[in-house]
């Protein structure tokens, strides 16, 4: 019987790996972008319906996967869910380098729920010997094909198993990236992860070292006391948190920016609130999630606009990858009428609207402002000392 995961089928997937399947996949690759019906009709002249569908689906997934895996995507295999859940190559690479840096020799890593192998490939390429399992047979077949296509030969094994049965004791590092999707979509509740959170914690407790990928919004109370928590953003978007145990910085918090590789650890410095200066700084989301706003404020000699909100204000222009900087042209108490009048007066017709600590609906506001003019501005809706306020800022020059 064929096992399915979404619209990829295990038997058809295995056929894709045969010489005939590879020819079908190459032809499907040449047809990407063509009308789907015409592409299927053309493929059906040579191949049966199952192989045609598998090859066209795979070719389409490879195109989608370029955003995460770059040129490697052209040699990799995916399922729709597997691609969606996989770790972007730059993020997996950063994590893999950290895993390896803690060892003299390439460590033996157990990847307890490997998916299609985004992390697995990065770990193997960084020099780890990886034993990987996944509970889903099709996903294992895909991960194996990816390890074969890209992984250094002989450094990876992939088997079908439940994470609850693996033995972290037999490895130097446990890696786990539990599924965060349920039948009802993405979950933010670690108790709904698969493998379940208690299983993951049991594995972590038995591992000499562990590295756990979790959602960036993980509630702080779920972070084990002996773990360092690292929030990672890629091009300004927070992608994930990683919990590290046995790596020497238990209880610490850290933020990392990719692709630049900047990393900032908590020092405990607190920012205080103070008067509005010439600039407003918007800290990167990874620093905000890691509660490192005080550290960023210190970097720019700044203070908070409001004690509860992660906007920093300062008098000097300090260049830092940790925050976007905007020069403040005007500060107003929030009022639609007043804001509209000020923007009209300044002939501002294009606005980028940002907000923190404001319940205003941005799209509704944009409509209500009825903008008109050639000038541009960045508008920041926030609270200043608890008062709803708006900052009108100059658009920063391109970086």
Ligand X SMILES: C[S@@+](CC[C@H](N)C(=O)[O-])C[C@H]1O[C@@H](n2cnc3c(N)ncnc32)[C@H](O)[C@@H]1O
Interface residues with ligand X (CB under 6 A) are 85-87, 113-119, 133-136, 139, 162-163, 177-179, 194-195
The minimum distance between CB 83 and ligand X, in angstroms, equals 8
Contact 210, 250 (CB under 8 A): no
CB of 92 to ligand X, least distance (A): 6
Sign of the Cα torsion 315, 383, 232, 58 reads negative
| Rounded least distance, CB 244 to ligand X, Å | 16
Report the alpha-carbon distance of residue 60 to residue 43 in Å, rounded. 14
Q: Is 300 helix (H, G, I), strand (E, B) or coil?
A: coil
In order of 145, 312, 324, the CA distances from 303 in angstroms are 52, 5, 15
With beta carbons less than 8 A apart as the criterion, state whether 282 and 381 touch.
Answer: no
Tally Cβ neighbours within 10 Å of residue 182.
12
φ, ψ of residue 33 in degrees (nearest 5): 95, -20
Nearest alpha-carbon partner for 29 in 68, 75, 67: 75
Q: Give 194-255 as a DSSP string.
A: BS-HHHHHHHHHH-SEEEEEE-TT--GGGS-TT-EEEEEEETTEEEEEEEEESSS-TT-EEE
Identify which of residues 119 and 228 has a Cβ nearer to ligand X in the complex: 119
CA of 2: how far to CAs of 7, 10, 11, 13, 14, in Å? Answer: 12, 6, 6, 10, 11
Smallest distance, ligand X to C-beta of residue 29, A: 22
Tokens of 148: 């074969």
Residue with Cβ nearer ligand X (138 or 369):
138
Nearer to ligand X by C-beta: 40 or 112?
112
8 A C-beta contact, residue 255 and residue 216: no
Contact yes or no for 50/9 (Cβ under 8 A): yes
CA dihedral 292, 298, 301, 304 (to 10 degrees): 40
Rounded CA gap, 28 and 172, in Å? 42
Nearest approach, Cβ of residue 369 and ligand X (Å):
41
Q: Which CB atom, from 177 or from 284, has the smaller least distance to ligand X?
A: 177
N- to C-terminal Cα distance for the chain? 56
- CB of residue 319 to ligand X, shortest distance in Å: 33
- When the beta carbons of 113 and 264 are compared against ligand X, the nearer one is 113
Closest distance between ligand X and the C-beta of residue 41, in Å?
33
The nearer residue to ligand X, 59 or 91, going by C-beta atoms, is: 91
Nearest-approach distance from CB 379 to ligand X, in angstroms: 37
* Closest separation in Å from C-beta 107 to ligand X: 17
Specify the residue, 93 or 115, whose C-beta has the smaller distance to ligand X: 115
């Amino acid at each position: 019987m064929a096992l399915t995961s979404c619209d990829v089928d295990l038997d058809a997937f295995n056929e894709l790996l045969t010489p005939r399947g590879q020819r079908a996949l190459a032809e499907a690759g040449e047809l990407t972008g063509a009308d789907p019906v015409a592409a299927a009709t053309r493929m059906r002249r040579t191949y049966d319906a199952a192989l045609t569908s598998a090859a066209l689906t795979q070719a389409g997934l490879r195109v989608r996967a370029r955003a995460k895996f770059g040129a490697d995507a052209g040699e990799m295999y995916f399922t729709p869910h597997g691609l969606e859940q996989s770790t972007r190559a730059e993020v997996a690479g950063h994590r893999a380098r950290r895993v390896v840096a803690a060892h003299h020799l390439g460590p033996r890593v157990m990847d307890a729920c490997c998916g299609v192998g985004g992390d697995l490939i990065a770990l193997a390429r960084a020099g780890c010997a990886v034993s990987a399992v996944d509970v889903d047979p099709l996903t294992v077949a895909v991960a194996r094909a990816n390890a074969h296509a890209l992984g250094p030969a002989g450094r990876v094994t992939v088997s079908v198993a439940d994470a609850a049965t693996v033995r972290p004791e037999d490895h130097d590092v446990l890696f786990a990236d539990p599924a965060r999707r349920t039948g009802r979509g993405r979950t933010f509740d670690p108790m709904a992860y698969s493998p379940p959170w208690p299983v993951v914690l049991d594995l972590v407790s038995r591992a000499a070292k562990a590295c756990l990928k979790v959602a960036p919004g993980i509630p702080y109370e779920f972070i084990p006391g002996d773990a360092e928590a690292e929030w990672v953003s890629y091009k300004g978007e927070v992608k994930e948190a990683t919990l590290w145990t046995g790596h020497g910085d238990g209880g610490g918090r850290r933020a990392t920016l990719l692709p630049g590789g900047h990393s900032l650890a908590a020092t405990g410095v607190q920012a205080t609130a103070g008067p509005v200066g010439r600039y407003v700084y918007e800290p990167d989301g990874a620093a905000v999630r890691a509660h490192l706003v005080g550290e960023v404020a210190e970097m720019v000699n700044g203070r908070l606009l409001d004690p509860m909100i992660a906007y920093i204000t300062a008098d000097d222009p300090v260049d830092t990858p940790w925050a976007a900087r905007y020069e403040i042209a005007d500060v107003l108490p929030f009022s639609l009428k007043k804001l509209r009048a000020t923007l009209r007066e300044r002939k501002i017709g294009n606005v980028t609207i940002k907000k923190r600590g404001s319940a205003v609906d941005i799209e509704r506001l944009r409509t209500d402002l009825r903008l008109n003019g050639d000038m541009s501005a960045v508008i920041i809706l926030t609270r200043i000392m608890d008062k709803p306020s708006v900052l009108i800022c100059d658009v920063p020059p391109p970086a």
